[in-house]
Homo-oligomer: A and B are copies of this chain.
Amino acid sequence: MSEIKIGVITASDRASKGIYEDISGVAIQDTMKEYLTSEFEILYRCIPDEQEQIEATMKELCDKEKCCLVVTTGGTGPALRDVTPEATENVCEKMMPGFGELMRQVSLQYVPTAILSRQTAGIRGNSLIINLPGKPKSIRECLDAVFPAVPYCIDLIEGPYLEVNESVIKAFRPKAK
């Protein structure tokens, strides 16, 4: 059993019914494998856009499975069934507005509809939860922008020490004050 666990939640009515393949969840897993040199285990969940179920899944991955990082895809738009940010806010003790701000700013370089994404991030216990966009291309753009701060964030919430492949991504750890 690996010590580092990363949760990946795809919130999608259609993917969870098998109507289409969940390429977004796969894209996140592939990116994590590229980024991290530490050994880690992925816990993957593909569920419908039901707020209660998303919250329950987040709690399971954070509290029971002890994932230091839980990444979601899907459900961050303005549509009726888009409830991932609300689920995130409900389960987190601390919100991290800087993640959503930076991700929207990065996505704005590609599409003006980036402002429609309500993605956020927050802390639950010793876990960091980050909402990502739905499309693989945007997922990568957003992860490339925010991931340099993720290992240090996990240090600060007393999670495991993540080591990254510096030729792919830099992990920034400021020296202690």
Using a CB–CB cutoff of 8 Å, the interface residues on chain A facing chain B are 77-80, 82, 86, 94-102, 104-105, 108, 111-118, 120, 123, 128, 134-135, 146, 148-149, 152-153, 156-158, 170, 172-174, 177
- If A97-B101, A112-B170 are given as contacts, then 4 extra A-B residue pairs at C-beta distance below 8 Å, sorted by A number, are A98-B117, A101-B104, A102-B115, A134-B177
Q: How far is the CB of A98 from chain B (nearest CB, A)?
A: 3
Q: How far is the CB of A175 from chain B (nearest CB, A)?
A: 10
Q: Please give, as numbers and ranges, the residues of chain B lying within 8 Å of A96 by CB-CB distance.
A: 78, 115-116, 118
Cβ of A115 and Cβ of B98 under 8 Å apart?
A: yes
- Name the residue of chain B whose CB is nearest to the CB of A157: B78
Q: Please give, as numbers and ranges, the residues of chain B lying within 8 Å of A134 by CB-CB distance.
A: 177
Which 3 residue pairs across A and B have the least CB separation, nearest first? Answer: A98-B115, A112-B148, A113-B149
Cβ of A118 and Cβ of B101 under 8 Å apart?
A: no
Q: Please give, as numbers and ranges, the residues of chain B lying within 8 Å of A105 by CB-CB distance.
A: 101
Are A156 and B102 CB-contacts (below 8 A) given A78-B94, A174-B111? Answer: no
B80, B115, B128: the one contacting A146 at CB < 8 Å is B115
Q: How far is the CB of A58 from chain B (nearest CB, A)?
A: 16
B97, B102, B116, B149: the one contacting A118 at CB < 8 Å is B97
Are A98 and B123 CB-contacts (below 8 A) given A128-B78, A156-B78? Answer: no
- Name the residue of chain B whose CB is nearest to the CB of A82: B94
Are A157 and B100 CB-contacts (below 8 A) given A111-B174, A113-B152? Answer: no
